[in-house]
Structure 1
């Protein structure tokens, strides 16, 4: 369900990025109380056309009785309808509709050592995670390895500097710039697999890290995951969120059958040659109500549901945000792309409805699981 929220502030944080704060009415405080690392799905009409986007919350998570603070970072994307509007026209007093915070790229504060590798706007959810963790848990430490093009293009510089000042013994920051040399610190260059494999053991005891958080463009996340595999980090300690996929022509992510194991969908492979049946019926459960409909013209499961249920959850439709996550109750599907679900989720039977196509005559999914 979407709720109208008033824009309380629009702050220019780089030449191509803004931070937008939404005001939360008293009646909706518990609805919009978020876990650090979650995101908002927003809806707005631009030139009469409905636009939906997903933006991570950068603000620390507030505990009752303090009201929740909803602040998101938006970076301009070439051709991006909402990001262009946010940077050029969005103003205080405007109203934007938003769903309750969602997402599983999260960390509930607890003692331990945690680390993140981010690039670009990937800092956004990690800023919320680190700020909340360090404020609530005195026995926690956090190491942030971040990459960006230049100092001028780096989002939330002041907020990260504030964490260094407030927690000098518990927050460790390492910055790499790809297009600018620094007076001190790492030489210029991207944070790729080879560099991270050598760098991470020099920064912290890799085996002692309780949780890794990787966020940013797909290339960065893929390289960081590969580096951690090389360093023998347990897969269960690695969490990822992809903000931008450079190659839209990624091969299919694999086949998932109800009750079976699916491959790690960030690695191309699986059912590249699988045929979609000529006729298939989808049964979907959403908000406690179920319906069955034919899948037409090679449509995805999400497109099939949306023709009958306008309240079906989605944002990006690109396999990135995870908003359309559903449990595969029956049948078998092919997911074309998956950059949102982690391996344990696909292994448990969850799929992305926007990327899934039936491979059996009958398929059933449940959005409520």
Structure 2
């Protein structure tokens, strides 16, 4: 559900990014009390067309009765309708429709050693995770390895510096710039799989890290995961969220590989359960299952429609589907029967989804 929230501040972070803070009215404080790592979807209507974009919350999670602070980072995307609006037009006092926090990149703080590898705006949810963890768990340690193009393009420099100042013994920061030399830190260049495989054991005891958080562009996350697996890190300790996928990147995910060879039926019918109500509709040629539901149920959950955010996750009750892309679901989720409705197309005459599971 979307709620109209007033913008309390828009702060310039870099030449191409801003931080937006929303005022949360008293009656919605519990609704917007987020878990570290979660995101919100923002909605805007332009010329009668709906635009939705997902942005991660960067602020520490507040416990009851503390007032929650919802602040998101937005980086300008070339041709991006919402990011262009956010950087060039949005100001304090404006109203934006905001969906309540969600997402499976969420992390409940616990004692232990944790680390993150992030690129660009991928710092946003990890900033919330690290700040909340260090404040709540006196024995916890966090290592942040971040990659950016240049120092001038680095988001949330002051916030990360504050973590280093407040917890110098428990917060480790390693920075890499791909297009600029720096006086301290790593030599310039991209953090690819080969480089990370050699670098990580020199920075921290890899085997002792209880959880790894990977966030940013697809290439960085894929390379970081490959390096960690090569170093013997169990899949269950690796958590990832993709922020950007280049067009033409091949589809991934267990469901895609299993179903790709199945014949496509001439006509299919979708049965879907959402918020306790079920409906049955014909699937039009070329439509995804999400598009099929949206024709009759505008409240169907989605944000990016690109297989990245995971908002449209649903349980496949019966039938078979093909997922064109999957950058949001973990292998355990696809093996358990979950699919992304925005990327799923029917491979059987009858398909049933449950969005409530």
Checking the alignment, whether the CA contact within 8 Å between 2:259 and 2:320 is kept in structure 1 is: no
**Is 2:334 the counterpart of 1:335?**
no
> For the residues of structure 1 that align with 2:203 and 2:251, how far apart are their CA atoms?
36
Aligned match of 1:167 = 167
Classify the secondary structure of the residue corresponding to 2:198: helix
Structure 1 residue 344: deviation in Å? 1.4
Checking the alignment, whether the CA contact within 8 Å between 1:282 and 1:362 is kept in structure 2 is: yes
**Is 2:252 the counterpart of 1:253?**
yes
Structure 1 residue 47: deviation in Å? 4.4
Seen in structure 2, the aligned counterparts of structure 1 residues 168 and 57 have a Cα distance that, compared at 3 Å, is same
Checking the alignment, whether the CA contact within 8 Å between 1:5 and 1:22 is kept in structure 2 is: yes
1:320 counterpart (283, 305, 308)? 308
Checking the alignment, whether the CA contact within 8 Å between 1:253 and 1:270 is kept in structure 2 is: no
Checking the alignment, whether the CA contact within 8 Å between 2:307 and 2:325 is kept in structure 1 is: yes
2:277 counterpart (280, 289, 299)? 289
Q: TM-score, normalised by structure 1?
A: 0.95
> For the residues of structure 2 that align with 1:276 and 1:71, how far apart are their CA atoms?
44
Structure 1 residue 361: deviation in Å? 1.2
> For the residues of structure 2 that align with 1:44 and 1:307, how far apart are their CA atoms?
19
How many residues align? The count is 357
> For the residues of structure 2 that align with 1:149 and 1:275, how far apart are their CA atoms?
45
Checking the alignment, whether the CA contact within 8 Å between 1:252 and 1:271 is kept in structure 2 is: no
> For the residues of structure 2 that align with 1:344 and 1:238, how far apart are their CA atoms?
12
> For the residues of structure 2 that align with 1:170 and 1:197, how far apart are their CA atoms?
23
When structure 1 is superposed on structure 2, of 342-351 and 202-211 the one drifting more is 342-351
Classify the secondary structure of the residue corresponding to 1:152: helix
Aligned match of 1:244 = 244
Classify the secondary structure of the residue corresponding to 1:131: helix
> For the residues of structure 2 that align with 1:340 and 1:141, how far apart are their CA atoms?
27
Aligned match of 1:188 = 188
> For the residues of structure 2 that align with 1:275 and 1:73, how far apart are their CA atoms?
43
Q: TM-score, normalised by structure 2?
A: 0.98
Aligned match of 1:119 = 119
Structure 1 residue 250: deviation in Å? 3.2
> For the residues of structure 1 that align with 2:178 and 2:249, how far apart are their CA atoms?
25
1:267-286 alignment to 2 at 5 Å?
269-286=257-274
Aligned match of 2:20 = 20
1:97-136 alignment to 2 at 5 Å?
97-136=97-136
Aligned match of 1:230 = 230
Gap runs ≥5 in structure 1? 255-261
> For the residues of structure 1 that align with 2:141 and 2:44, how far apart are their CA atoms?
39
> For the residues of structure 2 that align with 1:108 and 1:335, how far apart are their CA atoms?
30
> For the residues of structure 1 that align with 2:252 and 2:283, how far apart are their CA atoms?
20
CA shift digits 1:100-156 (9 cap, x unpaired): 100010211100000000000000000000000000010110000000000000000
> For the residues of structure 2 that align with 1:209 and 1:285, how far apart are their CA atoms?
40
Structure 1 residue 325: deviation in Å? 0.6
CA shift digits 1:149-205 (9 cap, x unpaired): 000000000000000000000000000000110101110000100010001111111
Structure 1 residue 271: deviation in Å? 3.9
> For the residues of structure 1 that align with 2:250 and 2:268, how far apart are their CA atoms?
23
CA shift digits 1:201-238 (9 cap, x unpaired): 11111111100000000000000010011001100000
CA shift digits 1:52-71 (9 cap, x unpaired): 00000000000011111000
Checking the alignment, whether the CA contact within 8 Å between 1:253 and 1:334 is kept in structure 2 is: no
**Is 2:142 the counterpart of 1:154?**
no
Aligned match of 2:332 = 344
